[in-house]
Chains A and B, each alone.
Chain A
Amino acid sequence: MSPANTDSPRSLFRAIATDLHFWIPLIVLAGGLLLLDKLR
């Protein structure tokens, strides 16, 4: 895992977007929203 130069917003975005830890919560959030939609 290489360090990102997070000084610029673009680098910061890249560091977040390539972090697996970001995608796991995001996918679970999407699943939760879908379930909520079914429950309405």
Chain B
Amino acid sequence: MPAARRRSLQALGIFCGFAAGAWLGGAEAPIKLVTTDISPVTVSLIMVCGVFLARWSVPAFIRGTSQVRNDVRQAPHLVVWAVLAGCMWAVANTLTIYAIRDVGLTIAFPLWNSNSLLGIFWGVVLFNELHHAGWKRWLGVLGGAVFMFAGATLLAIASSHQAAPGRATMGVLAALGAGILWGTMYIPYRKAYLTGMNPLSFVTFFTVGELATMSLLAIGYRGATPLWHELVSARPVLFWLMLGGFVWVLGDLFQQFATKYVGISRGIPLSNTNQLWGLLWGILVFHELQGAGRAVYVQVAGGSLLMGAGAVAIALSSATEREHSSWQDAADRESHRYEVEGEYVRAGMEGRAYGAGTSRRSVLDWLLIFCATALFVVLAAVAKFPHIDIGVGWAIALSAAMITLLAACGIALWRTTRFR
């Protein structure tokens, strides 16, 4: 790959990582509007329904589902990996709900964000990431991730008074379990993108695993009839939960592109800046930490600065030509093992077109987009805004910042790779 192309894809991947942080963090906001008493499993199921709609309608809107068929024809084995990753996501997401219930978001968040350290481990061990990278880049990535973890821990300590005593151990275990599941879920991600699959294709199968696992868990835990009654009684909040899932998917798509172009060892820590965005929403919009002492705010500021410094260190540690050639070795291994055409793998890694396939949207694509939009409109019409005090001005400002990032990163992805 030409050096200029490699550099532009690296820059794009880093930009995607930061955009992912904003949207993944912002996904917590609609969920905070749900104040009614619904079981964690049902909350997770409703969110996953929103996620499912987004994971089919957004790719249909961007590229059309015909591209998904082309990808599956080239690398059918990746369907299995995508479904497996989706199952892991669903279990991890349910664990986070138990973690939030037992120890609060501010403690749970940094614990499950430790997934980036595990992601780096798998990236190095299984996919040749950071091989021949030199000590400066090792220091940048690993040091940056440790800085981010330390910052996250400081943020947790700052808000530890919110923890519910008695259930703390199980809550911590749930958060750590979610971190391990998510950290390991990046194995299928990296495998898919080394093999050339488009992230927009991967997520459509990923979400089948998500929805199937979550439906089975919900029916198994709640029972079909009580679950149905709970879903019906949750009508006023369905929109907020599904919107949370939808926003999450947009962040996750950026995370997938970041993973594709800078690998899991850099892409995942960068997208974990979502904690900073979650914190901004919590403090500015939902007035969390209100009445806390000066020491708490000093800890929050210190933790945020540490996280920011870690993210910058990682962003500046882009892969060298030698490291990139190690990635290509890992890609060749995948191509050889699963007999995927070499040109398809190379085109995927370089973010360019493979074959002469068109990306025209079909009637099915427009139907998907229409149905998803119509469902959200109907749910929004019956949704009720809870009686809680929120900072509307800050909510508008943060939303505007997220939309600006979405547009800028979307345009960069289109110009550089046409969303490949």
Residues of A within 8 A of B (CB): 1, 3-7, 12, 15-16, 19, 21-22, 24-26, 28-29, 31-33, 35-36, 38-40
Of all chain A residues, the one with the shortest Cβ separation from B221 is A40
Residues of B within 8 A of A (CB): 76-77, 80-81, 84-85, 87-88, 91-92, 94-95, 98, 122, 126, 170, 173-174, 177-178, 180-181, 184-185, 187-188, 191, 217, 221, 333, 336-339
Instruction: State whether B336 touches A3 (Cβ < 8 A).
Output: yes
Within the complex, the shortest CB–CB distance from B312 to chain A, in Å, comes to 31
- 27 sampled A-B residue pairs with Cβ under 8 A: A3-B339, A6-B76, A6-B338, A12-B76, A15-B77, A19-B337, A22-B81, A24-B122, A25-B84, A25-B185, A25-B188, A26-B84, A28-B181, A28-B184, A29-B91, A29-B181, A31-B180, A32-B88, A32-B92, A32-B178, A32-B180, A33-B91, A35-B173, A35-B174, A36-B91, A36-B98, A39-B174
Is the contact region of chain B dominated by helix, strand, or loop, or is it mixed? helix
Number of cross-chain contacts by CB at 8 Å: 78
Instruction: State whether A28 touches B85 (Cβ < 8 A).
Output: no
Instruction: State whether B187 touches A24 (Cβ < 8 A).
Output: yes
Q: With a CB–CB cut-off of 8 A, which chain B residues contact A22?
A: 80-81, 84
Instruction: State whether A35 touches B76 (Cβ < 8 A).
Output: no
Q: With a CB–CB cut-off of 8 A, which chain B residues contact A29?
A: 84, 87-88, 91, 181
Leading 6 A-B pairs by shortest Cβ distance: A32-B91, A28-B184, A35-B177, A32-B181, A39-B98, A6-B339
Instruction: State whether B339 touches A25 (Cβ < 8 A).
Output: no
Q: A29-B91, A35-B173, A36-B95 are in contact. Are A24 and B184 (CB under 8 A)?
A: yes
Instruction: State whether A1 touches B336 (Cβ < 8 A).
Output: yes
Instruction: State whether A5 touches B187 (Cβ < 8 A).
Output: no
